[in-house]
Chain A
Amino acid sequence: MSADSIRVTLPATRDNLSALEAGQPVLLSGIVYTARDATHASIAGALEAAGALPFELAGQALFYAGPTPPAAGRPIGSVGPTTAKRMDAWTPALLDAGITATIGKGARSEAVREACVRTGAVYFAAVGGSAALLATHVLTAETVAWPELGTEALVRMELIDFPAFVAIDAAGRDLYAMAPAEWKVAR
């Protein structure tokens, strides 16, 4: 990752995230919670039933990922981002309820972009298919809930210098929308 990467500590307050700009490379350190499709359905169910996010997730970051089992002496073998679009149906409500950052891969809906602006949240993109490398940036992994979901369980992970890019910033700039056009112009 390039030398000018910005270090971001998670969980981050919306104030901490407000200066980030779409396209910037970042190194993420601190706590994230993994959540995929089935996890989102469970979180959304708990939110609806209780009126608040379960497991004190307010203020936290969600990492769209389903890791492989431990390997090579590390807490997990491989872990990388899954396609964020599949979580779009739930994301605006989760951002409204207090999630401040999400980590995944791929373009997202207009509703998610608007929710980032409305709530000051940021969407980070990690490089899909680089999960062996990304796993070397995971210090600990501990299942918090729904172990019966297997790889879709809610897992609390501690990251160190985990490489990513700012994909949607709190001002609503969307790297996936901007980048192809910028490349064509630069060419």
Chain B
Amino acid sequence: MPRVEAIALAVEAAVAEAAVTLRPDVLSAMRAALGKESSERGRAVLGQLLENAQIASRDAVPLCQDTGTVWVWVELGAQECLPSDLHAAIDAAVARAYRENALRMSVVRDALFDRTNTGDNTPAFVDITLRPGSGATVHVMLKGGGSDNASLVAMLDPSAGEDGVVETVVRAVEAKASGACPPLVIGVGVGGTFDSVAKLAKKALLIPLDERTPEKRRRALEDRLLTAVNATGIGPAGLGGLTTALGVRVVSAPCHIAALPVAVNLGCSALRTVTVEVG
């Protein structure tokens, strides 16, 4: 089979799976949080979210009615060549997946000048990058509007350092977390340029919560961020409690000598991502 079709089929299957399945690491983290949550209301919310995950997978219905915009990141083996239009194939796969799985169409034609629903949840938002070797790694994320709306990019002075990053993340959470459906998974991007830092934060949301970086300083920053966010008391559903976030992941990159770009992408309690290898 031509590789474009294999990638498109992988995208279609990933959309269907992500819409109804809570990521296993998020599910485990939510169960652990229920044991530690000291707010009664917070425990009720976490219990409701766990029951929701059960019903969604049992009945094959979406975890959340906002089945999101679709982000597809294809890491393509540099040995591959793609004979036909991968963008068109991905859009067709997304349209099929949304129609056949009764998902919600949540995309308008233009942000400002034509807010008519496109009717098939396309276009998908697609990144294609090259990596060594053959095959392709395909990442698919269904991103809810509520949590994406609560995200931000800040261009800090380098002197702000790690303290500045922590302040920026806590500010983002305090300003808008109640509408972003906590418990959150928080993706933090640091470095790159104004446009690329947001992508780093988004990629951070792909890192499983049960997978820790071996880098000590990065791990320490992630722990410090989680502690700071969970000291806000915002809690599950924003109704008070310990579990404002289940985890924080930081991805950093080179940047200009004058820059310290920071991006915070909030992932909601219905964080939906699937990563598959296409051979």
Known contacts A25-B44, A68-B104, A105-B179, A128 near B52 by CB under 8 Å? no
Quick check: B269 and A128 within 8 Å, CB to CB? yes
- Which of A127, A136, A165 has the most chain B CB atoms closer than 10 A to its own CB? A127
Kindly specify which of B7-15, B56-64, B160-168 makes contact with the partner chain. Answer: B56-64
Are A184's CB and B233's CB within 8 A?
yes
**A-contacting 9-mer, from B81-89, B198-206, B236-244:** B236-244
B250 at the interface (CB under 8 A from A): no
Chain B: which residue is nearest A165 at the CB level?
B239
Taken together as a complex, chains A and B put the C-alpha atoms of A140 and B119 apart, in Å, by: 24
B67 at the interface (CB under 8 A from A): yes
A residues 103-127 near B (Cβ < 8 Å) are: 105-107, 125, 127
Tally A residues with Cβ within 8 Å of B: 54
Interchain pairs with CB closer than 8 A, number: 175
Please encode chain B, from 80 to 105, with 1 for each CB lying within 8 Å of some chain A CB and 0 for all others: 00000000000000000000001111
Residues of B within 8 A of A152 (CB): 117
- Please pick, from A66, A78, A125, A186, the residue contacting B239 in the complex, using a CB distance under 8 A: A125
* Cβ B44 vs Cβ A2 within 8 A: yes
B66 touches A105 (CB 8 A): no
Q: Answer whether residue B149 sits at the interface, using C-beta atoms and an 8 A cutoff.
A: yes
Q: How far is the CB of A126 from chain B (nearest CB, A)?
A: 9
- Nearest A residue (CB) for B47: A1
- B241 near A183 with CB under 8 A, answer yes
Q: In the complex the two chains form, is A105's CB within 8 Å of B240's CB?
A: no
CA of A66 to CA of B51 in the docked complex: distance in angstroms?
21
Q: Is the CB of B105 within 8 A of A72?
A: no
Cross-chain contact B102 with A77 (CB below 8 angstroms): yes
Determine if A57 is an interface residue (Cβ-Cβ < 8 Å): no
User: Which one, B55, B66, B115, contacts A66 given CB within 8 A?
Assistant: B66
Docked-complex contact B41 and A181, CB < 8 angstroms: no
Query: Which single residue of chain B is at the shortest CB-CB distance from A84?
Result: B179
- For residue A144, CB closer than 8 A to chain B, the reply is no
| Known interface pairs A2-B44, A133-B51, A183-B233; A69-B102 also in contact (CB < 8 Å) | yes
Binds B, one of A7-15, A42-50, A90-98, A172-180: A172-180
Nearest neighbor of B106 in chain A, beta-carbon distance:
A151
Would A80 and B239 be within 8 Å (CB), given that A1-B44, A25-B44, A176-B178 are in contact?
A: no
Closest Cβ of chain B: how far from A182's Cβ, in Å? 6
By a CB distance below 8 angstroms, the chain B residues around A175 are 239-240
A25 smallest CB distance to B (angstroms): 7
Cross-chain contact A183 with B39 (CB below 8 angstroms): yes
Q: Name the residue among A38, A128, A167 with the largest chain B CB count within 10 angstroms.
A: A128
Q: B149–A83 contact, CB under 8 A?
A: yes
Q: Are B60 and A72 in contact (CB under 8 A)?
A: yes
Pick the contact of A105 from B48, B59, B146, B234 — CB < 8 Å? Answer: B146
Pick from B59, B234, B242, B268: contact of A128, CB below 8 A. Answer: B268
What residues of chain B have their CB less than 8 Å away from a CB belonging to chain A? 20, 38-42, 44-45, 48-49, 51-53, 55-56, 59-67, 102-106, 115, 117, 119, 145-146, 149, 178-181, 232-242, 268-270
A-B contact pairs, 17 of them (CB 8 A): A1-B44, A68-B62, A68-B103, A69-B102, A78-B61, A79-B65, A83-B179, A106-B180, A107-B179, A125-B239, A127-B48, A128-B269, A130-B52, A151-B106, A165-B41, A178-B240, A179-B41
19 more A-B contacts (CB under 8 A) besides A2-B44, A106-B238, A183-B242? A38-B115, A68-B62, A71-B60, A105-B181, A106-B146, A106-B178, A107-B238, A125-B238, A132-B53, A132-B63, A133-B48, A133-B51, A179-B233, A179-B240, A183-B42, A183-B233, A183-B235, A186-B39, A187-B233
